[in-house]
């Protein structure tokens, strides 16, 4: 937008060489005229465009207009924000007026869509009310229905997986909608946000939620929770957010019929408290400099989450999790921007420590394996396990400490159609990781040594597809080091879907 603005100004001022030689010419903005404002408070807009008056040169005027446009668009209440620079009508040569044309978004909007994330697919419906009081407020109600995707396949089942997973998912969702049967995972959210809390330079989001997550395949229980949380987003601390919240959680172990006389769950799951009340304080930090969120070739990503539970209720722990990823271009294959070989390095780790009891609860632990973090192992099955009564299956119990290291090299897909149409890349990877409980009465040194010695290692080759749903990987995996437990065993192929990857 900057060059057209400059050229337009030059033609109006009849200074043809201004663009090349006089961009630092001193000018003064005498007025900003708004057009198209309907529901937004004028003083709310004035606060965002006020810095334009501080500009002293044409270059600064253009830069501050661009910054103001970005700020206004970030509120998600304007469909477009256009600007023109014209000479001031007072006739002074160094005075200009900025005309800003605004087009507001619809105040009420409904949407329906589908998604793939964390190896689950489903449908979402949302209703949004924008700019309620004219200051960028937003109220959204959303409902999500999710179904798990099959992500691990033998050689013979690969074709069936590729051709059958999504149609089966669609059929399951459709069948549940037409019959009124709830999906395996149902999430309801009511969100209200304001860009400036009580006039401060801090955004605020309030969320009330109710969810049901079917974890029977993984851990033989269904978890339902309801609660609320408030998040603060200080603009003076980019990337940081602070949260306070509370929830009521219930665990229902699986049974063979509608009664609870016979359970399919392991003894460990049956021993978990059925109900719990959790309140917490949390801090999150995110720094993103990757050139792509789904298939990066350069840049870094850092995410750190810390949570303290126990300011009220019967759940008390401190929990921290960090993810780091860095990407480098190793060599260019051609002049095309993405036609290169790249190196990708990643690390992730987490720790949860109970503050009032010897043990953490299963729904507060880490679940590791599968997806696109610890490739080559069954989804969420790496770590402590407990046998189910049937004897032919296990329950994943989660860990208190986990760590993952990952390295991969990627290059453009040699199949020209996949490369040109889908932007596909091939990658070779190796990763190592573990997930364990923190036993009491054991020295940190001996426990740490065992944690490293029992780490799982896998390598493989795969296809990476950047899609609008997120990153999709189809990997052929070779576990190199496994723990002699059924939960670590993996069939030949694995599919990963989502935005969370190393």
Lowest mean pLDDT among 87-91, 146-150, 203-207, 448-452: 146-150
Q: Please state the three-class secondary structure of 84-107 as a single string.
A: EEEECCCCCCCEEEEEEEEEECCC
Summary mean pLDDT of the chain: 86
- Do domains 2-104 and 108-498 share one topology? The answer is no
pLDDT score, position 1: 43
Q: Give the CA radius of gyration of the chain.
A: 27
Per-residue pLDDT band at 357 (split at 50, 70, 90) = confident
**Mean pLDDT along residues 172-200:** 76
DSSP string, 156-173: TTHHHHHHHHHHHHHHHH
pLDDT score, position 438: 85
Residue 3 has pLDDT above 70, yes or no: no
Of 416 and 4, the one with more pLDDT? 416
List, for residues 286-295, the tens digit of each pLDDT value: 999 999 999 9
Domain 108-498 has CATH 2.40.160.50: yes
Alpha-helical runs (H) found in 101-194: 158-179
List, for residues 374-415, the tens digit of each pLDDT value: 999 988 889 898 888 877 788 999 999 999 999 999 999 999
* Domains of the chain by residue range: 2-104, 108-498
Query: What CA–CA distance (Å, rounded) separates 212 from 13?
Result: 64
pLDDT score, position 2: 45
**Domain 2-104 falls in which CATH fold?**
Ubiquitin-like (UB roll) (3.10.20)
């Amino acid at each position: 937008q900057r060059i057209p603005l400059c050229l337009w100004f030059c033609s109006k001022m009849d200074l043809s060489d201004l663009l090349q030689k006089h961009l630092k010419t001193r000018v003064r903005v005498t007025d900003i005229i708004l057009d198209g404002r309907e529901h937004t408070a004028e003083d709310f807009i004035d606060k965002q465009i006020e810095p334009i008056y501080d500009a002293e040169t044409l270059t600064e005027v253009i830069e501050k207009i661009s910054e103001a446009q970005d700020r206004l668009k970030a509120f998600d209440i304007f469909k477009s924000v256009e600007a023109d620079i014209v000479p001031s009508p007072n006739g002074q040569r160094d005075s200009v007026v900025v005309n800003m044309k605004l087009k507001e978004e619809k105040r009420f909007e409904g949407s329906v869509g589908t998604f793939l994330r964390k190896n689950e697919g489903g449908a979402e419906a949302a209703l949004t009310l924008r700019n309620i009081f004219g200051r960028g407020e937003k109220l959204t109600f959303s409902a999500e229905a999710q179904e798990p995707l099959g992500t691990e396949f033998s050689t013979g089942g690969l074709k069936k997986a590729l051709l059958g997973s999504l149609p089966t998912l669609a059929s399951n969702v459709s069948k549940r909608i037409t019959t009124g049967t709830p999906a395996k995972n149902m999430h309801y959210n009511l969100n209200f946000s304001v860009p400036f809390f009580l006039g401060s330079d801090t955004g605020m989001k309030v969320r009330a939620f109710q969810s049901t997550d079917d974890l029977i395949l993984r851990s033989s229980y269904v978890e339902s929770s309801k609660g609320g949380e408030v998040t603060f987003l200080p603009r003076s601390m980019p990337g940081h957010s602070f949260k306070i919240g509370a929830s009521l959680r219930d665990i229902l172990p699986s049974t063979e019929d509608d009664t609870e006389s016979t359970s399919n769950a392991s003894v460990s799951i049956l021993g978990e408290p059925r109900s719990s009340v959790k309140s917490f304080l949390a801090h999150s930090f995110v720094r993103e400099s990757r050139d792509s969120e789904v298939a990066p070739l350069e840049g870094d990503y850092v995410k750190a989450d810390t949570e303290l539970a126990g300011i009220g209720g019967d759940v008390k722990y401190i929990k921290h999790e960090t993810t780091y990823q860095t990407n480098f271009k190793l060599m260019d294959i051609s002049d095309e921007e993405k036609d290169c070989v790249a190196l990708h390095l990643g690390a992730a780790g987490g720790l949860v420590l109970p503050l009032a009891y010897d043990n953490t609860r299963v729904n507060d632990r880490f679940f590791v394996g599968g997806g696109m973090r610890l490739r080559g192992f069954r989804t969420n099955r790496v770590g402590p396990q407990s046998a189910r009564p049937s004897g032919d299956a296990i329950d994943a119990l989660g860990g208190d400490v986990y760590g993952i290291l990952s390295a991969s090299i990627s290059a453009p897909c040699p199949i020209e159609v996949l490369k040109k149409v889908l932007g596909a890349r091939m990658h070779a990877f190796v990763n190592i990781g573990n997930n364990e409980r923190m036993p009491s009465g054991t020295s940190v040194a001996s426990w740490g040594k065992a944690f490293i010695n029992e780490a799982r290692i896998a390598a493989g080759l795969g296809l990476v597809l950047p899609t609008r749903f997120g990153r999709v990987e189809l990997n052929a995996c070779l576990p190199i080091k496994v723990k002699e437990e059924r939960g670590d065993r993996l069939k030949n192929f694995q599919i990963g879907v989502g935005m969370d990857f190393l």
